[in-house]
């Protein structure tokens, strides 16, 4: 556990971020490994099916991400305030809610699979594989949600290393099962989906065992879980805007995918491959954002507001350096990166253009996430939701639709950095108004006063 209320913000944020970043790399290996093996051994149509499945899955877990964020903020603030019994109650409440939610979304996903794919206008040569992949992933949602819940709880407690270790082991398991199921057993795309679900289950069970055995202060009885209505309502106040924001992101991805599908399976496959690379490059911003949320949450709980602005300055400097480096890598090696997934030249050409256009603007994405992370740590998630709505639906989708009708697939990609710049500007302006300070849910810990001796 890391106490972020003491010590230099730069060192604390870096120490907390690095394990999460490494963990995120291995988490992305789930999708990347599926895509590389599927693309190389099953063809571009199967690669397109995996890519078409991603925004659908993201939509189904978006609400749970939001609820988990609310619990994480309450855990971090109560942990900073040294209110450990409330921390334990937050954990139990999260378990109850996430179990019910995951089962419900599994049923909904299985029932609405065809309806969703028809809305997305998935091409006939991709449809069957996409449906098969999604059905298997729907069946394993409870394992995915469970692991995300454990990770969120541990991050709220200041532990970012344990999720890393679990992900490293699970990622290697996923790679091995991918090769076994696809190359040896010949299961096709169902093998890729099954490998991912099994590996996620391994991470979830490992996290449960660790939290139960290694942290006795927060040990819970899983057969007698408590559900605290007040904590749940507060977590929803914090988390629902984030969940809605994630759902806006997910539906925005689906809307963007629908634009891509108009250009056929080559464009979908290129979007899948480039999107996997893009996801890797976005991870530093996302991890810094999560570190910022925990840092801000703990320091607000401890009543140390002055450290928040210092953390923002530190995060901005880190973002500038990281964004310059990853933009150089993506633009310079764009052709080679896409070739990892396919040998089809048409797919390579489209995917390379995606990376060249989007790759030069990661700084805007990172700035947006730094400010949003700080706002979430303070418990203010409503305004970031509206900013996402504006930048995604009122800027990115219309720009992509308009330009794609005139310059083809390149026009789709240009809508992405335009939306990032809008989101970064609006998030920064709102943060500096200081209105987020009114959203704090936990009162600062008060140090005991020594009695005055006569």
Averaged pLDDT, 378-395: 80
The domain segmentation of the chain, as residue ranges, is: 9-439
For position 333, what pLDDT does the model report?
Answer: 95
Residue 250 and residue 58 in contact, taking contact as beta carbons nearer than 8 Å = yes
Give residue 441's pLDDT.
Answer: 53
Average pLDDT of the segment spanning 207-234: 80
Q: Give pLDDT tens digits for 165-178.
A: 887 888 889 889 99
Least confident of 55-69, 113-127, 182-196: 55-69
**Selected residue with higher pLDDT from 47 and 239:** 47
CA 84 to chain CA centroid, Å, is: 27
- pTM value is 0.75
Whole-angstrom distance, CA of residue 217 vs CA of residue 108: 37
Dihedral angle computed from the Cα positions of residues 24, 27, 29 and 31, in that order, rounded to the nearest 10 degrees: -120
CA distance 25 to 379: 27
Look at residue 352 in the predicted model and tell me its pLDDT: 96
Most confident option among 146-160, 233-247, 288-302, 390-404: 390-404
Return d(Cα 382, Cα 375) in angstroms, integer.
9
């Amino acid at each position: 556990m890391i106490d972020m209320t003491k010590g230099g913000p730069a060192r604390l944020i870096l120490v907390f971020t690095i394990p999460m970043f490494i963990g995120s790399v291995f988490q992305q290996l789930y999708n990347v490994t599926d895509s590389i093996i599927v693309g190389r051994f099953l063809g571009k149509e199967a690669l397109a099916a995996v890519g078409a499945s991603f925004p659908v899955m993201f939509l189904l877990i978006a609400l749970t991400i939001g609820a988990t964020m609310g619990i994480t903020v309450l855990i971090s603030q109560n942990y900073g305030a040294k209110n450990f019994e409330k921390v334990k109650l937050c954990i139990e409440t999260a378990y109850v809610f996430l179990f019910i939610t995951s089962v419900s979304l599994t049923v909904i996903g299985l029932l609405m699979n065809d309806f969703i794919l028809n809305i997305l206008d998935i091409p006939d040569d991709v449809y069957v594989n996409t449906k098969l992949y999604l059905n298997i992933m729907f069946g394993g949602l409870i394992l995915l949600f469970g692991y995300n819940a454990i990770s969120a709880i541990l991050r709220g407690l200041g532990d970012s290393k344990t999720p890393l270790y679990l992900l490293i082991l699970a990622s290697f398991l996923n790679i091995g099962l991918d090769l076994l199921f696809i190359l040896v057993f010949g299961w096709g795309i169902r093998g890729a989906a099954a490998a991912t679900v099994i590996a996620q289950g391994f991470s979830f069970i490992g996290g449960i065992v660790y939290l139960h055995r290694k942290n006795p202060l927060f040990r819970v009885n899983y057969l007698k879980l408590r559900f605290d209505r007040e904590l749940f309502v507060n977590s929803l106040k914090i988390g629902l805007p984030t969940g809605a924001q994630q759902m806006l992101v997910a539906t925005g991805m689906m809307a963007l995918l629908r634009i891509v599908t108009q250009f056929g399976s080559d464009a979908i496959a290129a979007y899948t491959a480039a999107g996997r690379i893009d996801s890797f490059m976005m991870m530093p911003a996302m991890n810094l954002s999560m570190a910022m949320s925990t840092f801000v949450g703990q320091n607000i709980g401890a009543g140390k507001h002055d450290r928040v602005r210092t953390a923002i300055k530190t995060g901005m400097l880190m973002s500038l350096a990281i964004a310059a480096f990853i933009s150089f890598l993506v633009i310079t090696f764009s052709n080679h990166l896409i070739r990892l997934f396919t040998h089809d030249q048409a797919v390579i050409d489209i995917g390379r253009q995606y990376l060249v256009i989007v790759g030069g603007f990661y700084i805007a994405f990172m700035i947006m996430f730094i400010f949003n992370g700080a706002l979430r740590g303070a418990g203010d998630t409503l305004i970031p939701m509206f900013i996402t709505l504006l930048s995604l639906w009122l800027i990115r989708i219309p720009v992509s639709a308009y330009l794609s009708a005139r310059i083809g697939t390149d026009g789709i990609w240009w809508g992405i950095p335009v939306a990032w710049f809008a989101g970064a500007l609006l998030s920064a302006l709102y943060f500096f108004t200081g209105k987020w300070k009114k959203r704090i849910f936990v009162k600062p810990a008060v140090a005991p006063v020594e009695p005055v001796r006569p």
